[in-house]
């Protein structure tokens, strides 16, 4: 009995650590959105994973970093009037974004080693935690790969690389969150899935697709056009949705098509969440699930309001960042519901 209690206490400690890491990743995603929305993401033109911890500390160092920035397409085509003071205003956000990434690495690695040394994490579980760490390192590399795409010819990062960077962050977050929930709410391996599990999985998939679509909206700055709702300009279906050839390119490279897709994916997701919530009220559920289903509905309403407001006001920084943050909150809630129904 005492051994079971000790194991439960250890699992709770590991789960709490993972949830703290999830919180840091959440903050990282939001800060990354603010960095993008303020045009700060291309201000640091080199990547030094270890030596880049310290910012410029002298006037000479600041001048050196600024001169590097002056060689970039963004400076020549967008910010040619920038002086050193203006450069500092965009440098610090990107610096904080990268610093937070390094902080997450330390916040993961140090407790992980401590938990291993104290026997809190069983040997057979080491690989999944090592995978989390490796994915985090690869995410940093992917972030630099994204930034490099904006340092060549165009002063904008590739929408493909930006979306991949976003998806990778959500994947790492989801992996850590799922493992944490499994530690906090253990169930018998022989338990069966709840009747709503398959529908919840479908809903989760749709939320993920909508988030991916949002990544392409962000990468193409598609929220800057057709700032009307529900119409796009004068019609529900704007002209030029299939302007690019071959046709599949319109899904990822045509600004109007990308916004059109995101609108209707978001509306479809919202409607299905409302239907899911209404039907779930009549179904027997685990005690921890029903409050989450209610939260899912409330968060979906908030997200729709934020999405429409962000569009109508042409993506101001605060609304754009809030829309991205609530998207991650919605993702978290539906993932929590999915986990709670996997074995009952």
The reported pLDDT for the residue numbered 110 is 97
The model's pLDDT over 280-294, given as tens digits with 9 standing for 90+, comes to: 999 999 999 999 999
Question: Per-residue pLDDT for 190 more than 80?
Answer: no
Question: Per-residue pLDDT for 2 more than 70?
Answer: no
Question: Per-residue pLDDT for 238 more than 70?
Answer: yes
- What does pTM read for this prediction? 0.95
CA distance 6 to 210: 42
Question: Per-residue pLDDT for 6 more than 80?
Answer: no
Mean of pLDDT values over 236-241? 95
The reported pLDDT for the residue numbered 224 is 96
**What is the percent of the chain where pLDDT is above 90?**
89
The model's pLDDT over 109-161, given as tens digits with 9 standing for 90+, comes to: 999 999 999 999 999 999 999 999 999 999 999 999 999 999 988 889 999 99
Of 185, 158, 129, 176, nearest to 11 by C-alpha is 185
Residues 324-328: contacts with CB within 8 Å, 24+ apart?
324/29, 324/30, 324/33, 324/214, 324/218, 325/26, 325/29, 325/30, 325/33, 326/299, 326/302, 327/211, 327/214, 327/303, 328/26, 328/29, 328/30, 328/170, 328/173
CA distance 130 to 115: 13
The reported pLDDT for the residue numbered 7 is 78
CA distance 35 to 289: 35
The reported pLDDT for the residue numbered 51 is 58
CA distances from 12 to 7, 181, 185 (A): 9, 10, 10
Q: What is the mean pLDDT of the chain?
A: 94
C-beta separation of 178 from 134 below 8 A: no
The reported pLDDT for the residue numbered 54 is 85
The reported pLDDT for the residue numbered 165 is 97
The model's pLDDT over 11-48, given as tens digits with 9 standing for 90+, comes to: 999 999 999 999 999 999 999 999 999 999 999 998 88
The reported pLDDT for the residue numbered 4 is 62
Of 98, 100, 213, nearest to 144 by C-alpha is 98
Question: Per-residue pLDDT for 1 more than 90?
Answer: no
Place of tokens 């799922």: 178
The reported pLDDT for the residue numbered 308 is 98
C-beta separation of 93 from 125 below 8 A: no
Higher pLDDT, 192 or 22: 22
The reported pLDDT for the residue numbered 53 is 80
Residue 187's pLDDT band, with cuts at 50, 70 and 90, is confident
The model's pLDDT over 240-293, given as tens digits with 9 standing for 90+, comes to: 999 999 999 999 999 999 999 999 999 999 999 999 999 999 999 999 999 999
Measured at the alpha carbon of residue 154, what is the angle toward residues 151 and 157, in degrees to the nearest 5? 65
């Amino acid at each position: 009995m005492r051994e079971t209690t000790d194991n439960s206490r250890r699992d709770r400690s590991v789960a709490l650590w993972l949830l703290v890491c999830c919180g840091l990743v959440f903050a990282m995603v939001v800060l990354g959105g603010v960095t993008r929305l303020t045009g700060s993401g291309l201000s640091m033109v080199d990547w030094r994973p270890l030596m880049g911890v310290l910012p410029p500390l002298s006037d000479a160092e600041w001048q050196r970093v600024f001169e590097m920035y002056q060689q970039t397409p963004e400076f020549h085509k967008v910010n040619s009037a920038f002086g050193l003071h203006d450069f500092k205003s965009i440098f610090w956000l990107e610096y904080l974004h990268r610093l937070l990434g390094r902080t997450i690495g330390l916040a993961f690695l140090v407790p992980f080693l401590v938990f291993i040394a104290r026997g809190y994490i069983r040997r057979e579980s080491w690989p999944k935690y090592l995978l989390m760490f490796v994915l985090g390192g690869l995410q940093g590399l992917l972030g630099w790969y994204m930034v490099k795409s904006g340092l060549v010819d165009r002063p904008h990062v590739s929408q493909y690389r930006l979306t991949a960077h976003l998806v990778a962050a959500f994947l790492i977050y989801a992996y850590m969150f799922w493992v944490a929930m499994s530690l906090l709410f253990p169930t018998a391996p022989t338990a069966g899935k709840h009747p709503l599990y398959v529908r919840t999985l479908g809903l989760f998939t749709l939320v993920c697709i909508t988030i991916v679509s949002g990544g392409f909206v962000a990468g193409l700055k598609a929220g800057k056009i057709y700032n009307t709702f529900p119409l796009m300009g004068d019609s529900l279906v704007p002209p030029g949705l299939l302007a690019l050839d071959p046709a599949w390119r319109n899904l990822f490279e045509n600004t109007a098509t990308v916004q059109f897709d995101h609108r209707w994916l978001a509306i479809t997701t919202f409607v299905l969440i409302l239907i899911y919530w209404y039907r779930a009220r009549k179904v027997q559920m685990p005690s921890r699930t029903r409050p989450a289903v209610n939260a899912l509905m409330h968060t979906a309403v908030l997200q729709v309001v934020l999405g429409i407001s962000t569009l109508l006001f042409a993506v101001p920084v605060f609304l754009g960042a809030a829309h991205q943050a609530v998207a991650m909150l919605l993702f978290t809630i539906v993932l929590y519901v999915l986990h709670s129904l996997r074995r009952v």
